[in-house]
Amino acid sequence: MPPVRDSPGRLFLRFLRFGCLAWGGPVAQLDMVRQELVERERWVTPEHFRRLLGIYQALPGPEAHEMCVHLGMVARGRWGGVLAGLGFMLPGFGLMLAAAWWYARTDLAAAGALAVFLGLQPVVVALVARAAWRLGRHSLADPRLGAVALAVAGLQVLQVPFWLSLPLAGAAWVAWGERRRYAGSLLGAGALAAAIFASPVLREGRPWWPEREVRFAGAGGAAAGTAATPAAAFAAGLRTGCLTFGGAYTAIPFLQEDAVDRGGWLRRAQFLDGVAIAGVLPAPLIIFATFVGYLAGGWAGALAITAGVFLPAFAFSLLFYRRIEAALAHGRLRPFLDGVTAGVVGVIAITAAELAWVALTEPKAVGLAAAAAVILWRASGRAVIPLTVIGGGLAGALLY
């Protein structure tokens, strides 16, 4: 491979340009990076790029961002990784921060924007449903993994914490994969006991399904309840960043639990609005966390939650890559991660159902979600997601 000659400043500007053009989701983002740095400039071989991508797809965090950090390390060591990662994420972060600031100060009804957001929310439901389908199609090839996904979906309905259900899913799949069926059965019994012990639905009689909300017709960011401290926002972001197996859409249920279900920082409708805005920005979708943090805790909340979300993505690439690659090469982590990913499929499926219950309250919304689903399932290209989101907003303006 020819030596990479980018200076630190040029390296940062190169990845800043990638960040400004990062529409269309991780596939389009990675293809843009691959064409320039692999095909044209030969920073790494195509085979090495594919192997790296396979590793980062098996780990939590936005894989496009993690790949940028790693390629920055190829060019300039750890500081190069930091510069590349910051360059790639800063355009989306700045745009989302501006959008959240506007949203929090705008009377959506008076500005004529409420109808637009009502049209965006069904599109978000279709996006999350498609994410569950695509992740499940690739991750549940073995019917037993489907059973793991169903079991975790049941635990999700019972509101069992992720930190308990997902490791149990991974451990159960390791036991089954090694043909230790007795151990797998014991883990299943342990999961049931954990559900009874840890489920607030069973212990406290908490409602097991979200209530439908009346869309607030005032300022978009009017507080839903208690404000988040920077420490709480950082912790929520860090949990999300450590659990996003299978792509950025898997961040939605984890952050929703902290910000909506448990913390009460946002209403579910506001949360949906943030995901919709992220869909039209040049950024990893996980940047919607910045929106959540701003509405929950202002500027400090936005910075804290964004730092928490992206910290694991930086850490895996900068600190632990060699050890992780060696472990995956020997297959020690792969079965556990397969079980966790199957569990995440169940979590996303339940999240899609909950969001549909909240957002699809009338025939117009159901029709918009169905139309968005047809487009998202049948069309391809980097512009499909942002154009579908924009189309949903325009349709909402016409229908509402």
Does any domain span residue 40?
A: yes
Q: Given 34, 57, 92, which residue is the final one in a domain? A: 92
Give 181-234 pLDDT, tens digit per residue. Answer: 555 566 666 666 666 666 666 666 566 566 655 554 444 555 556 788 999 999
Choose among 245, 247, 240: nearest CA to 130. Answer: 247
77 and 60, same structural domain?
yes
Q: Do residues 375 and 242 share a domain?
A: yes
Last residue of a domain, one of 62, 77, 92: 92
Give domain status of residue 3, yes or no: no
Flag whether 241 is in a domain.
yes
Q: Is residue 395 part of a domain?
A: yes
- 321 and 261 fall within a common domain: yes
Domain assignment present for residue 156? The answer is no
In the chain, the percentage of residues whose pLDDT exceeds 70 is 81
More confidently predicted of 178 and 156: 156
The answer to whether residues 135 and 264 belong to one domain is yes
Per-residue pLDDT tens over the stretch 157-175 = 887 777 778 888 888 888 7
Arithmetic mean of pLDDT over the chain = 82
What pLDDT is recorded for position 381? 73
Task: Give the pLDDT mean for 255-275.
Answer: 89
The contacts of residue 245 (CB under 8 Å, 6+ apart) are 58, 59, 60, 337, 340, 341, 344
Closest to 271 measured CA to CA, from 99, 121, 159: 121
**DSSP H helical ranges for the chain:** 8-20, 25-33, 46-58, 63-104, 114-139, 143-157, 162-177, 181-198, 200-204, 230-243, 251-256, 268-278, 288-318, 321-329, 334-359, 363-378, 384-399
Q: Which residues contact 267 (CB under 8 A, 6 or more apart)?
A: 213, 216, 224, 260
pLDDT score at 186: 62
Amino acid at position 19, single letter: G
14 plus 136 within the same structural domain: no
Quote the distance between the C-alpha of residue 249 and its chain's center: 3
Residue 107, beta-bridge partner list: 219
Q: Is 159 helix (H, G, I), strand (E, B) or coil?
A: coil
165 or 300, higher pLDDT: 300
Statement to judge: residues 21 and 136 lie in one domain = no
Domain of residue 134 covers: 95-140+210-399
Q: Within a domain: residue 73?
A: yes
Residue 37 placed within a domain: yes
Burial bucket for residue 182 (CB in 10 Å: 0-12, 13-18, 19+): exposed
Pair 106, 42 in one domain: no
As for how many domains the chain has, the answer is 2
**One domain, residues 22 and 134:** no
- In the predicted structure, residue 85 carries a pLDDT above the cut 90: yes
Clarify whether residues 280 and 370 are in a common domain: yes
Boundary-marking domain end, from 92, 120, 155: 92
> Do residues 61 and 114 both lie within one domain?
no
Question: Can you give the pTM of this predicted structure?
Answer: 0.77
Question: Six-digit token pair at 363?
Answer: 């025939």
* CA dihedral for 116, 119, 123, 124, sign (positive or negative): positive
Cβ contacts of residue 384 below 8 Å, gap of 6+?
Answer: 24, 375, 376
Asked if 180 and 172 count as a contact pair (C-beta separation under 8 A), the reply is: no
Higher pLDDT, 128 or 266: 266
pLDDT tens digits for range 334-390: 788 788 888 888 888 888 888 888 788 889 999 999 999 999 888 877 778 888 988
CA 289 to chain centre: 9
- pLDDT tens track for 87-137: 999 999 999 999 999 999 887 766 567 788 888 889 888 988 888 888 788
Is 82 found in the same domain as 221?
no
Q: Examine the domain organization and report whether 130 and 53 are in the same domain.
A: no
Residue 372 domain flag: yes
Q: Who's near 306: CB < 8 A, 6+ residues apart?
A: 93, 237, 287, 289, 290, 293
